[in-house]
Amino acid sequence: MQELKEKIEKYGTVLPGNVLKVDGFLNHQVDTDLMYKIGQEFAKHFQNQGITKIWTVESSGIAPAVMTGLAMHLPVIFARKHKSLTLNDNMYTADVYSYTKNTTNRISISKKYVDKGEKVLLIDDFLANGQAVEGMMEIADQAGVEVAGAGIVIEKSFQPGGKELRDKGVEVYSLARVKALTDDGHVVFN
Ligand code: 5GP
């Protein structure tokens, strides 16, 4: 998506540890016009597949997921993140290691909002090692829910998540694919 790539080039900054900071339009301040177009793009790609709901993980996935839900006229669930390991019979849970924060969070989705036989589209802001998407897939598995695919705003293709998911047969659709973050702060696209 050309407009997204231009925003990344203009406002993205490269942090140590191969982290791309995009606080100016995605992760802190949200560019709503851009996010609206992102939602429409995901909706177009995943249309006519019988998708019943959008899933994401709080908090950075919420903006693109809600815009996708709006475009598809579908509800959005954002999995909650907990530091402590609270066990709860009413929740589906999975453990997710956070690449950027170097911590493991337990993510959870309430059973109340999941019906058997559903087909969900997973949305996230970044794809790096694939942990967040894998965590949502684990929950889908527990819940007997089919996964239509994953819509990713920015995939860091030099990290293994995208390849691993595609090798498993998951339809991963990324709007910008970054193949390198250079030492002098440049973003190189695929
Ligand atoms: P994964 O679970 O695929 O390893 O990482 C994806 C999650 O980590 C995303 O939900 C995102 O919040 C965060 N993340 C991974 N890499 C980056 C990055 O380069 N920049 C930002 N802002 N977040 C990232």
Query: What tens digit of pLDDT does each residue of 106-156 get?
Result: 999 999 999 989 999 999 999 999 999 999 999 999 999 999 999 999 999
User: Does position 86 have pLDDT exceeding 90, yes or no?
Assistant: no
User: Does position 85 have pLDDT exceeding 70, yes or no?
Assistant: no
CATH class of 31-179: alpha beta
User: Does position 87 have pLDDT exceeding 70, yes or no?
Assistant: no
Helix axes of 2-11 and 32-45: crossing angle, nearest 10 degrees: 140
- When pLDDT is averaged across residues 52-69 and rounded to a whole number, the result is 98
pTM for the model: 0.97
For 181, counting Cβ atoms within 10 Å of its Cβ (0-12 exposed, 13-18 middle, 19+ buried), the class is: buried
For 32, counting Cβ atoms within 10 Å of its Cβ (0-12 exposed, 13-18 middle, 19+ buried), the class is: exposed
**What is the model's pLDDT at position 184?**
93
Other residues' Cβ atoms within 10 Å of the Cβ of residue 171: 15
Closest residue by Cα to atom 24, ligand 1, is 126
Closest residue by Cα to atom 7, ligand 1, is 126
User: Does position 187 have pLDDT exceeding 90, yes or no?
Assistant: yes
Residue 61 CA: which ligand 1 atom is closest?
10
**What is the model's pLDDT at position 113?**
97
Residue 161 CA: which ligand 1 atom is closest?
3
Residue positions in the annotated binding site for 5-phospho-alpha-D-ribose 1-diphosphate?
128-132
How much is the ipTM here? Answer: 0.99
Q: What's the mean pLDDT when you consider all of the chain?
A: 96
Residue 22 CA: which ligand 1 atom is closest?
22
User: Does position 168 have pLDDT exceeding 80, yes or no?
Assistant: yes
Residues with CB under 6 A from ligand 1: 19-22, 27, 60, 98-100, 124-132, 156, 161
Cα of 75 from ligand 1 centre, angstroms: 23
